[in-house]
Amino acid sequence: MSTRYSSSSSSSSSGGIGFVGLLTIVFITLKLLNVINWSWWWVVSPIWITASLVMITVVLGFIGYLIYRALGRNK
């Protein structure tokens, strides 16, 4: 059974590790090679800072949605 893909199909996937993942790997490598003497909290900081920003954005978006709905019902 053969699968054909037409050139007009638009499937986009962004594979790869990304900037935050690469930065985390660099920090971990530097920590394990004793190049930097940072706390592990700072070594993995790209992960938790990004996760925190995503969570803050989701919470603010949800609050905005609730305000939008509350103002829409008062009209």
Task: Provide the pLDDT for residue 16.
Answer: 83
- Cα(12)–Cα(55) distance, rounded to whole angstroms? 26
Alpha-carbon distances, residue 30 vs 4, 35, 40, 61 (angstroms):
45, 5, 11, 37
Q: What is the pTM of this model?
A: 0.67
- Cα(43)–Cα(36) distance, rounded to whole angstroms? 9
Task: Provide the pLDDT for residue 13.
Answer: 62
Tell me: the pLDDT tens digits for 13-61? Answer: 667 889 999 999 999 999 999 999 999 999 999 999 999 999 999 999 9
Residue 10 pLDDT exceeds 70: no
Task: Provide the pLDDT for residue 9.
Answer: 52
